[in-house]
Amino acid sequence: MPGVAVITDVALDPYNSDGHDGIVREGVIVNDETVEVLCKQAVCQARAGADIVAPSDMMDGRVGAIRAALDAEGFAEVAILAYTAKYASAYYGPFRGALDSAPKAGDKKTYQMDPANAREALREAALDEDEGADMLMVKPAGPYLDVISSLRDFSPLPIAAYQVSGEYLMIKAAAKSGWLNEQAVVLESLTGIARAGADMILTYFAAQAAEWL
């Protein structure tokens, strides 16, 4: 569709029977082998027409590797939206339940970020900038407004924030029970994310919010 930017997710969890974002060898996520596959995936998506690729896997060094792979294949104009601060969050539960994509063994805490560690986000932002990211993302959004604000002050790059399935479902469930005014609470939550410093907001409320606004 002309005028619409296509953003694609770069990660292996949709294709892994174990539900992990990377290749698993004897119970361990193999970083470098995973990055090689992610590069192939990003190039494939660019060939299919992606304007922006968004690596959500949280492997080390993948932004730089993907940038090099895209450039080598003639896709220098394809941008990278890096999942810079993706936390090992309980708020992903509804999404994982709907897709049956939760890890079959272990968890994602060895590669996603510790919710108690805000400083790591600045380190990850610096690395992603150096590796060629065009935009930085914080996920989830609502519980991490402080991280959004910190990245906004730290980096000149556009900051994206992902309002995830748990945030969405809590508002939907409360509104369905008559406890909240859905439109008012949705717009207030999105305003808070924007006020914290997000230039872009990814949300399941996108279509509704666009109509309301």
Which range among 23-32, 76-85, 88-97, 121-130 shows the weakest confidence by mean pLDDT?
88-97
Which range among 68-72, 109-113, 185-189 shows the weakest confidence by mean pLDDT?
109-113
Q: Looking at residue 112, what is its pLDDT?
A: 82
Which residues have a catalytic role annotated?
86, 139
DSSP alpha helix (H) spans, 132-181:
145-154, 165-176
Is a pLDDT exceeding 90 seen at residue 135?
A: yes
| 28 vs 67, residue with greater confidence | 67
Residue 50 lies in a domain: yes
**How many domains are there within the chain?**
1
Tell me if 188 sits within 8 A of 142, measured CB to CB. Answer: no
Q: Return the number of other C-beta atoms located less than 10 Å from residue 49's C-beta.
A: 9
Nearest to 55 by CA among 66, 44, 46: 66
User: How much of the chain, in percent, has pLDDT values that exceed 70?
Assistant: 89
Domain interval for residue 83: 7-212
| 93 vs 9, residue with greater confidence | 9
Residue 21 lies in a domain: yes
Tell me if 105 sits within 8 A of 18, measured CB to CB. Answer: yes
Residue 1 lies in a domain: no
Is a pLDDT exceeding 80 seen at residue 54?
A: yes
Nearest to 204 by CA among 167, 173, 179: 167
**pTM of the complete model:** 0.91
